[in-house]
Structure 1
């Protein structure tokens, strides 16, 4: 495997945070979850100013393992997203792979969320030709206002809004007989019903994939970001050999894709809003 040309500036602090959180005290009681995921979007209409362009199709296949305990979660996740752009001369093949590990941990007043992994197009892995953009991750650190407060203040860095950037974060959570609420501004709002059978989520999604053109000469990156809303319903509990089935329906709003085109240079385009559906099997 060819080593990355240089480390991303934020990568080493992220690894330090991730390793440090692994040393936090663990609770005895814990549970694990293995899942398979499939998500399908309606085809995106291309911007009107691009003449004679075909619709953009997108889907997602994923699998992962998640370990939960009283102090947090840790997991490994892989997903594959074909994003088929059929216009111009994109410097990528549209087959986006992502393998990450990480989770979240809380200790006294502090909470840490960290994820690190590799993200890139299929030709990079097939030919083992990597560059520095393949290393990716996100991190957030919160501190509760006081020990019994549902409000935490912090900072997070990720690619949700395009290039990697740090943003202030405000996190508030509350549980009562009506369910569990989590508000994490400016990136997420989530509600879970009692028993977690229903879930509604509005979330800012965004990431970066390292790319190579067909000739493997142009090294660049693709950024995909959106506001995604989804309502899911869980069937079954996932005990024994029979999985819980989670069905979802939602929409992607303000979807933007930024990538290198061999003819016109960097493109940053907004795709039309579209509906999506998902199914997840969880053991």
Structure 2
């Protein structure tokens, strides 16, 4: 039996005010360097349907896709970005305490100062009925942070610590960051969450990354407070078809695989489920201006 708790509600006006303040601060502290570049982008990503992980006669495949848009600004000393994405995750079996429509709006930044590097992201993430009916609980506020210190001036190696939901519930993990640029391209290793290679000229990119986050959820009756955790390992090879220097947008196509995809959520009948959806192919297209 589930114990229904009273919602620890957040006033919607206060929530959106905090987001506007964050965006204003971002605009004020952005580096005004002549070398700074900015971009607006659109993203679409589609996963191959997952087979239902349990032997249930009425089970249907789990479909998943992602639509995203955002703005990024980058300079030599760091960068800022505002990102929104919508992921329909359709679990058509059982009685999930969520509607499968996952929305996320975040503000993120990276700063480099001498030997120190800071990466941070904050925002809101929840199901569509939370925003439609403006019924929020504390799990809707989300974020991640990582701090690194280089071993020396000009050293490619840095040690640090980071906290996020990439491996499930929020946890702190030690991080090792190494980067190198040579004739083969640019390498970035951020253990244990990412390995990335970019070719000279940024035409090709290969990335293996740990993806994971938390979305606050409500059931259909908006009476059960809960959260959904989605995480995976994703390997992707992308190719920049056009750079956007002409009349059209920059276009990047990607193909890859989602490995060991897991989802944890509350089912109103079965309790908390932690399911391995399995492996799937994934393709993406990104347009930038």
Tell me the TM-score normalised to structure 1 length.
0.91
- Residue 202 in 1 paired to residue 208 in 2? yes
1:112-191 correspondence runs (5 A): 112-191=118-197
**Equivalence for 2:270:** 264
**Equivalence for 2:244:** 238
Gaps of 5+ in 1: 6-14
Which SS does the other structure have where 1:239 is aligned?
A: coil
Residues 40 and 288, structure 2, Cα contact 8 Å, conserved in 1: yes
Q: CA offset at residue 117 of structure 1?
A: 0.3
Q: CA offset at residue 240 of structure 1?
A: 5.3
Which SS does the other structure have where 2:201 is aligned?
A: helix
The whole-number CA distance in structure 2 between the counterparts of 1:241 and 1:3 is: 47
**Equivalence for 1:219:** 225
The whole-number CA distance in structure 2 between the counterparts of 1:280 and 1:82 is: 18
Q: CA offset at residue 53 of structure 1?
A: 1.1
The whole-number CA distance in structure 2 between the counterparts of 1:152 and 1:96 is: 34
The whole-number CA distance in structure 2 between the counterparts of 1:61 and 1:24 is: 27
**Equivalence for 1:95:** 101
Tell me the TM-score normalised to structure 2 length.
0.89
The whole-number CA distance in structure 2 between the counterparts of 1:278 and 1:138 is: 24
Report the RMSD for the aligned CA atoms in angstroms: 1.9
Aligned length: 270
Out of 259, 268, 273, the position equivalent to 2:279 is: 273
Q: CA offset at residue 234 of structure 1?
A: 0.2
The whole-number CA distance in structure 2 between the counterparts of 1:42 and 1:49 is: 20
The whole-number CA distance in structure 2 between the counterparts of 1:23 and 1:247 is: 33
The whole-number CA distance in structure 1 between the counterparts of 2:35 and 2:280 is: 41
The whole-number CA distance in structure 2 between the counterparts of 1:191 and 1:43 is: 28
Out of 101, 114, 117, the position equivalent to 1:111 is: 117
The whole-number CA distance in structure 2 between the counterparts of 1:48 and 1:159 is: 25
**Equivalence for 2:85:** 79
Deviations 1:100-121 (A, max 9, x none): 0112111100000000000000
CA distance change for structure 1 residues 197 and 244 in 2, over 3 Å: closer, same or farther?
A: same
